[in-house]
Every structure is written in C-alpha cells, then in structure tokens.
Amino acid sequence: MKAKLFLIIIITASMGFIIYGFSNHQEKESSYSSPNPNSWKPKWNTCASQMQPNPVDREIFYLLKGRPHRTITQGRLLDAQSLDELFPDYPYQWIKSYNSVKISHSSFDQTLSEAGTDQRINKAQKKLLQSAELSSEITIEVNYQTENSVTQELDDREMKITFVIIPEFEAQYPGGEEELERFLKVNSQSKITPEQQQDLWMARVSFWVDEKGKPGNSELVISSGYPDLDDDLIKLVKKMPNWEPAKDANGENVRQKLYLLIGTDGC
C-alpha cells in the first residue's frame, strides 16, 4: 500500500513539472518578436577584406587601363590575311561552315563594315583594316555552323570579338607604373565613406597622350555616381606631367587613348 502511494506521489510531481515547463516555454515564445528587417543593421562591414566594426573612411584607388577590350597592334592588323592571324585563340576547329563574316571599324561615332564568306580576309575587308586609325575599334562578327555533340546535327552559332588598335610601343608615364601610382595617391584627396561603398560605381575617364607626350582631352565615360569623385578623376589627368609618347612601327611618335579608373580599395 505504501509502495502504491509513493508511486502515485512521484507520478503527480512529474506531471506538475512537465505542465509548468510547457506553459513557461509557451510564455517565452509569445513574448518573442522577430527583428524588423527594415530597422536591423549589421555590426560588420559586408566586404570580406574589411571585416572590422565601424570602418573608417577609405581612400580611393586608381587604375590605369589602356583599353576596354582586347588589343591588337597596327602592324599585326595590317599583316593579317585571315581571322586566325588576328587572334591566336580563334576556334576554327569548332566551325564546320560559315554563314557570314562581317568586319566593322568604329571611330568617332561612325561605323563602316565589310562582309566576307569565311575566315579569309578579302580585299574589301583588307582595305577597311588599312583605313583604321590608332585607338579605334575593330569588331568581327562570325555567323557559323557547328556540330551538336548530342544530336550530331549542325547548329547556328554567333561569335563577336572587339579589338582596340594600339601602337607598337605604348605611351609610358615617366618612371613607370610605380611612379604613376605614387602620383595618383599623393594628388588624390578624395575619401569614400562606408555608406558610399554600397552603391559606388567604377568610374572611368578617357584621355589622350599626344605626340609630344602631353595628356589632355579627358572625358568622363562612366560616372561613379558621386560628382565630387568624378571631378577628382578629371583633375588628376590635368595635373599629370608629360608622358613618354607612344611610337608606331617606324619609331614615329603617335597619340594614344588611355583610361583611368576610380574605385574603392576593397570589394
């Protein structure tokens, strides 16, 4: 009898603890509210290279880039007799037949084109290439057929490649790239705040180095989204000293178009 009474007491006590724990858990759940996604802010910068709380303003970095596309020297362009001589990775092994081949030359908002039938550069296309000046663009559009590896049938494909014509010897900043980087850092006063980093575009300014090595004719190509940073980039070009001018295959000084980019030193 005593054993049965003791067992009843144990069971009753256990049920009480279970009921209390469940009700306490329910109370905690009802008092919890999920964070408002519009008001929540991370404590860490999202850039992996700058994982630190409350990052300070970071200086902008600059990159000199000769061109936005592939390049080809004027001498190589004029010597080429076929498309595979214009660029070494031409995928001739994929091509079973040609539908059309168009070569275009773009300069100063004007585009001229000549059509061909295969990878060989015909007389009209050759004449077009001979008329192309330095820093202008050459675009090759190839419509061809290739064998489908699954169906073994011929599929229509298109390939488009753009080149920028550069001189045999490109313009050089006095002292080389390290001196150019030093000049840009010393003469740059701009800062980019953490807030600006979130929506900052990579700005690009084009400029020319003329036959005497003088930089000028700068133009904003892509805005950073912040006018003060865009202005800083334009001013840097104007402050540059004279360069060593570019030279053609005959050793004659020629002008060259270059690009200066602005961005942050992180992601």
pLDDT digit string (tens) for 209-265? 999 999 999 999 888 888 887 888 888 888 999 999 999 988 999 999 998 887 764
| Tokens linked to 51 | 């994982």
Residues 68 and 217: their CA atoms lie apart, in Å, by 18
**16 pLDDT higher than 60:** no
Percentage of the chain modeled with pLDDT above 90: 42
Task: State how far the alpha carbon of 101 is from the alpha carbons of 59, 91, 115, 128, 161, in Å.
Answer: 47, 14, 6, 14, 12
Q: How many CA atoms lie within 13 A of 78 on its CB side?
A: 13
User: So what's the pLDDT on residue 241?
Assistant: 95
User: So what's the pLDDT on residue 49?
Assistant: 35
Contact 263, 61 (CB under 8 A): yes
Burial bucket for residue 262 (CB in 10 Å: 0-12, 13-18, 19+)? buried
**23 pLDDT higher than 50:** no
pLDDT band at 60 (very low <50, low <70, confident <90, very high): low
**pLDDT, greater one: 235 or 41:** 235
DSSP code of residue 262? E
**pLDDT, greater one: 36 or 67:** 67
